[in-house]
Structure 1
């Protein structure tokens, strides 16, 4: 999480991206297999907005801008005690391949203030928006005061961006009594409106954790799918699956054009991590969902990862090199909480049993299988050993707790979740016990429903020790309009005694972490097929310091 300066990052990476993806793919595949990658496959990922070797884009005079370039809003993320990452992307024509910016770099001014009127500016500077990075701007603002709310904005030519609000993390040794977070995931644009984000923008939270599936690769028709636009016709460019760098960039433009999503980003700093759909459904490491050579898939993954970084408030430490990106990282909130943000897609073994629900067996229980990869697993367990925080919070993607889909002992489990990687889960659980974690909270996305789990030492023994708690935050929109009790509600609640709550509506989770307990409020809306549904609290639970387990609040 050590911040890196923008000029150094761009000098290292901006002008040889094609070389980076090819060399990284070679590392994955070995020289003999890599040589089978065709020129057409290489063009799949990097055929758009890339300079020739040694070229430097000319600089545009920002005064030439004739339309608002801040159509995709602003965002902040990964707050540290003395810094925060600020983001925007210039796109006066967001549904054009180049955003309407052409191939020139542009100077963008930024400023950070203690007040929303920008009378008390404490930091300001200039950043360059490069065409090689889709004219995105990532500013790692240094020298801020810990635990303070700030306001920020950008200027390009005569245009000023909307103002955003952010905050720094408290000092590492700050003794806090409380902090609040929001947890969201899974926002298929075509499945409905972002009503959940409109409500989240108004919530009093310190930070929002996005747990994956920010983007979906599936086609979006001219009516916006379930949104059913009658006064807007989306361009045909969205009505296809994302494959190329241009496709992924344009799809982020579509998602980020949503005003409710913009409002949530402007209101709160985000900590983001991806799952599968930012690239392709249920991919595993270098293995795609469909029958495609890994060499070709890694080029698609490189395009997806690149567009993800360009469109998220991430530091240059997360800038991809070809198909690889270091996304797992650690944040601290005083002495109250340590947040370990995982990546459970990039390093995982291929799903067992053709990725179909299946009872545990030799294939899924192979000790060599991993969901995190060995290096990330060691980083996680070492971080727990060194942690002095009261709460250790794991922000990750897929269900950690066991979920039986039937009432028999051999009922199927999800092979895409930790149930399909039980040896990997057992190592993590052993590491949590060895580190003496007393207050362990897991934040989960992926499943499009809200769950509350007790994390058991032995999931098949309801009387075994409860090691921690897990919440799944439902989805912002994926799954379309939900229902309170899905068809599988009764079966899953009976089959999994450690499952304390299950709700199928869209929503988010709000978590209040304190020195005596953590409170989890599951927030839901009734519909997203039409905008404006009110927010309700479906259920609330507490888990107590030193006495883990989901208890009704």
Structure 2
């Protein structure tokens, strides 16, 4: 079967665009807040065959402490329907929005039919949220002909407008994979291009660099108020992960890049990841743990066509070797005890690949796996990004061993972080064991170029690299039984609003045939 897809007119016209004129609610005064409570919109995600998570957060004054809410629990009603007019409501209930979680609501809806869209909304104090669209996974083992999804992330609020998100909202998609960097923790006005040269911000963050839970909540709220982002969150179900900027640039495990005492850094990480949980449509399985860790690894099956493995490459990783940054390899690159996924998650991935009989296996994660030599001139030794899998030879070898052992083949990795597009083949013992599509940023890095200066040398030096592009946008994957095609969708500028979307390049993997082909 082909998954049911609602009309784009219904989703964009009737469900998303109109409600963005937010009313000033008067009836909400009875609960102690004086403005419309659903300023941050709605979202859905973490789907199962019988349900999904629906999310909202009450925040009548989202850029103020506590979001303008009273410091007490508030009841929020919700309903799910089979149609956008809510004539056939199939589930409803009430959830408590707690001040300890910034009055966010995570409803785990269940008991629904598999493989179809649903519409949902919230009500509180006589006010209605805008309407969102969610989707259940297909039934286990169902025959599925096509899956379409977009990979998005790296959305520096100050570096550019989120025009790409408006285009994501208008795509026909089964889900969105957010690979991380939903916020940037930088001090306001810290905006640079790919050469780390300052560029003019298009807008500014409120407040300074975030350290406290309140700081991070305000930053998430400011991001989520962007109506292009709000539209994309309402239009499709999401699978959400985090990378580094949700906490601090290039953090791993209990370490930040500044050498902060790990005990102190863990206090910051705890608060940052709680704010991430409060603003993402994720399950209680990702609820902050006693040590402040927030887990999100997930597996999702789209019938017999696609199994998705959504990984966590920050929480369990050992410190970057060689002092981090871009540099030649040192002894630490081959350290025997190095980890990216951690032993437990590596085992989990291996089990998932071994038991996955779907046509395709998706590895959805944060940092590039292809060990790219980044020399641009006549440097005597290869230069690697130590914050990517290139800095971790042991974990990368073990991962490639898992790929090579998968009897079905047809493994595709989808990655973010790099702020530009890459189409890579992953080569192990002179054989292609998987291919990798790296999605560019939504806005980070500014407008960019068709091809980043210096990348011509990368193309010459790296047999794994087939194509690269440096515009902003997202990677749209269309998966069928015959092929996996990635459409690298790009806007020419994020310094101005409303740029049209285009396909900068298109690359594919044919089922049963290792290696990328253009077209």
Report the TM-score when normalising by structure 1.
Answer: 0.85
In the alignment of these two chains, the number of paired residues is 482
* SS of 1:481 mapped into structure 2: coil
Which residue is equivalent to 1:452? 423
- The alignment status of 1:129 with 2:97, answered yes or no, reads yes
Is residue 363 of structure 2 the alignment partner of residue 394 of structure 1? Answer: yes
Q: Which runs of 5+ in 1 are unaligned?
A: 1-59, 459-463
**Given that residues 421 and 470 in structure 2 are in contact (C-alpha distance below 8 angstroms), is that contact kept between their aligned partners in structure 1?**
yes
Deviation larger for 405-414 or 373-382: 405-414
Residues 416, 533 of structure 1: alpha-carbon distance in 2 compared, 3 angstrom cutoff = same
User: Given the alignment of the two structures, is residue 520 of structure 1 paired with residue 489 of structure 2, yes or no?
Assistant: no
Please tell me whether the aligned partners of residues 181 and 206 of structure 1 are also in contact (alpha carbons under 8 angstroms): yes
Taking a change above 3 Å as real, the CA distance of residues 63 and 320 of structure 1, as seen in their structure-2 partners, is closer
Structure 2 residue aligned with 1:538: 504
1:91 equivalent in alignment to 2:62: no
1:61 Cα deviation after fit: 9.0
483, 504, 513: which is aligned to 1:547?
Answer: 513
Counterpart-to-counterpart distance in 2, 1:493 and 1:62: 63
Q: Distance in 1 between matches of 2:408 and 2:53?
A: 30
User: Residue 70 of structure 1 contacts residue 91 of structure 1 at CA under 8 Å; is this kept in 2?
Assistant: yes
Comparing 487-496 and 127-136, the one that deviates more: 487-496
What is the CA–CA distance in structure 1 between the aligned matches of 2:366 and 2:324, rounded to whole Å? 17
Q: What residue in structure 2 maps to residue 414 of structure 1?
A: 385
Q: Equivalences for 1:136-147 in 2 at 5 Å?
A: 136-147=104-115
Does 2:450 align with 1:484? yes
Q: Distance in 1 between matches of 2:256 and 2:311?
A: 20
Matched, 1:475 2:441: yes
Secondary structure of the structure 1 residue equivalent to 2:504? strand
Matching residue of 2:352: 383
User: For residues 31 and 399 of structure 2, what CA distance do their matches in structure 1 show?
Assistant: 54
Could you tell me whether the CA contact under 8 Å between 1:221 and 1:239 is conserved in 2?
no
**Which runs of 5 or more structure 2 residues have no equivalent in the other structure?**
1-27, 192-198
- Of the candidates 237, 262, 267, which is equivalent to residue 235 of structure 2? 267
Distance 2:435 2:190 in 1: 42
What is the aligned partner in structure 1 of residue 336 from structure 2?
367
| Offset, 1:249 | 0.6
How do 1:130-529 and structure 2 match up within 5 A?
130-220=98-188, 226=200, 228=202, 238-321=206-289, 322-406=291-375, 410-458=381-429, 464-529=430-495
Mapped to 2, the partners of 1:326 and 1:200 lie a distance apart of 26
Deviations 1:422-451 (A, max 9, x none): 110101111222232410000100000000
Say if 2:180 and 2:366, in contact at 8 Å, map to a contact too.
yes
Cα distance in 2 between the residues matched to 1:552 and 1:356: 32
Q: What is the RMSD of the two structures over their aligned residues, measured on CA atoms?
A: 1.7
Contact 1:282–1:416 under 8 Å retained in 2:
yes
Name the CA distance, whole Å, in 1 between partners of 2:170 and 2:342: 38
Q: C-alpha offsets along residues 466-525 of structure 1, whole Å, 9 cap, x if unaligned?
A: 111101110001111111111122011111122111001101011011111111100000
Contact 1:186 1:214 in 2 (8 A): yes
1:69 deviation in Å?
0.4
Question: Which secondary structure state, in structure 2, belongs to the residue aligned with residue 307 of structure 1?
Answer: helix
CA shift digits 1:299-332 (9 cap, x unpaired): 1000011110000000000101132122112111
3-state DSSP of counterpart to 1:191: coil
Residue by residue, what CA displacement relative to the aligned partner does 1:248-302 show, whole Å, maximum 9, x if unpaired?
1110010001000000000000101111000000011101110210000001000
Contact 1:74 1:87 in 2 (8 A): yes
